[in-house]
Amino acid sequence: MEKKEMLYEGKAKKVYKTDESELFIIEYKDDATAFNGEKKGTIVGKGVINNKMSALMFQILEEKGIPTHFVELLSDRESLVKSVKILPLEVIIRNITAGSFSKRYGVEEGIVLPFPTVEFSYKDDDLGDPLMNEYHALALELATKEQIETIKAYAFEINKIMKEFFLERNIKLVDFKLEFGVHKGEVILADEISPDTCRFWDRETNKKLDKDRFRRDLGDVEGAYQEIMKRLNI
Ligand code: TMP
């Protein structure tokens, strides 16, 4: 499958059309940004790791009955995926307090929540991806009620599968962000699952093994991505 016209260039990925309207090619970059693009940098090798890790996670999720956009790995940095129209909602699941949740509600990081929570942000860089509830998403016609119900059910199921998978590899799944798209009228999981989009803490030491090392200037950013790759055997 060959790359045709570039459809979209995001902060960490490029998306290309192919000969087939049902298929796109995603190319993962080493570029990293934080705080809505205010902070810019490079994480050497990140594109390869995020491509391979996303491929693995999508395959595992597919096996457990979650429909995803993933078709096949094409190279170190490229994957073939089903063409989707991304729903402009970032879906965030949290198991342990951290990040914007801790900041917004004035709670320290690291508190295990009594049950996982879900929240939505409006995927709009100009607005800084503002938090929004389901009524807002429905009123702005970003998704239908049925799509939102499907997304929530998938997101909690994905959390169960991923939490167990990472714990077996001595990693706590603190929180993560998902994006869904519509392919042939069906909602499917899209985008990526990587240390860019998840918070991973070492089970014993709570060492951060994700993009927070870049966001917060904690050092050893590449080392964290490599450690994840090692524990996932990819
Ligand atoms: P938050 O605590 O900053 O809201 O982040 C929640 C999760 O979402 C965390 O695992 C990192 C991920 N995330 C993204 O994937 N993209 C983003 O732009 C942001 C802000 C967070």
CATH value at residue 161? 3.30.470.20
67 lines ligand 1 (CB under 6 A): no
Please give the Cα distance from 199 to 191 (Å, whole number): 16
pLDDT for 114 equals: 98
What is the sign, positive or negative, of the torsion defined by CA atoms of 128, 191, 186, 150? Answer: negative
- Residue to probe by mutation, ligand 1, list 129, 159, 175, 209, most atoms within 8 Å of CB: 175
Atom of ligand 1 nearest to the CA of 100: 2
From 166, 186, 229, 2, select the one nearest 85 (Cα to Cα).
186
pLDDT value at 136 more than 90: yes
pLDDT for 227 equals: 98
Residue 54 in domain: yes
Q: Are 172 and 96 in contact (CB under 8 A)?
A: yes
Domain end position, chosen among 82, 99, 120: 82
Statement to judge: residues 59 and 152 lie in one domain: no
Domain end position, chosen among 82, 100, 134: 82
H or E element in which residue 44 lies: none
As a whole number, mean pLDDT of residues 58-62 equals: 98
Domain end position, chosen among 82, 112, 133: 82
Domain holding 72, by residue range, is 3-82
pLDDT for 1 equals: 84
Statement to judge: residues 124 and 200 lie in one domain: yes
92 confidence band (pLDDT: 50, 70, 90): very high
150 confidence band (pLDDT: 50, 70, 90): very high
Q: Write the CA distances from 72 to 26, 59, 103, 218, integer angstroms.
A: 11, 9, 38, 34
Residue 44 in domain: yes
